[in-house]
Amino acid sequence: MKAIIYESNTGHAERYAVVLAEKLNLPCHNINDAKKALPKGESVIFIGWVFANRIMGLDKAQKRWKVAAVGAVGLFPDVKANEEILIAENKLTVPLFYLRGGIEFSKLGMLQRKLLKAVHDSMVRSDDPEKKQAAELLEKDADFFSEDNLSAIAAFGLTQP
């Protein structure tokens, strides 16, 4: 394992990447800087934020490096059904580790806020009580970052050559 590469919109994925890199004693690069810093084909762990179930930056990272595992940083709770959706939507064939991030509305652009408002409103209208309840997560700032969430991906990283 040569490095941790990340793409972050508002900072949660970056925090996870920085702390994981410290734990594994590896360099940590934003995906844009990594192009200069890390040769093609090197083995990396990629951490990206989730936008409409897509792990942002993953395609780009997979084209350039050997992504051995993926950390997905999203707002919603860490439940198996959510992980299954992320695996399918992102066509993952390497291990996925879900890292719960958070939401900070002041850091979002107008378009992203509008998108989230539309998602929120459709969740409120849902017949599924779990979805209805989860809509509350899109109503105010929250931060679910926890170093403990990194234990599984850190253990995986330690097993990699």
Ligand X SMILES: Cc1cc2nc3c(=O)[nH]c(=O)nc-3n(C[C@H](O)[C@H](O)[C@H](O)COP(=O)(O)O)c2cc1C
Give me the residues that bind ligand X (CB under 6 A), please: 8-14, 49-53, 73-76, 101-103, 108, 112, 115-116
Find out whether 36 and 14 touch, Cβ atoms under 8 Å.
no
Smallest distance, ligand X to C-beta of residue 104, A: 7
Smallest distance, ligand X to C-beta of residue 65, A: 19
Smallest distance, ligand X to C-beta of residue 69, A: 17
How many CB atoms neighbour CB 120 within 10 A?
16
CB nearer to ligand X: pick between 136 and 158: 136
CB nearer to ligand X: pick between 3 and 138: 138
What would the DSSP string read from start to end of 28-64? EEEHHHHHHHS-TT-EEEEEEEEETTEETTHHHHHHH
Smallest distance, ligand X to C-beta of residue 159, A: 26
Find out whether 8 and 14 touch, Cβ atoms under 8 Å.
yes
Q: Which residue has the tokens 């959510």?
A: 82
How many CB atoms neighbour CB 1 within 10 A?
19
CB nearer to ligand X: pick between 14 and 68: 14
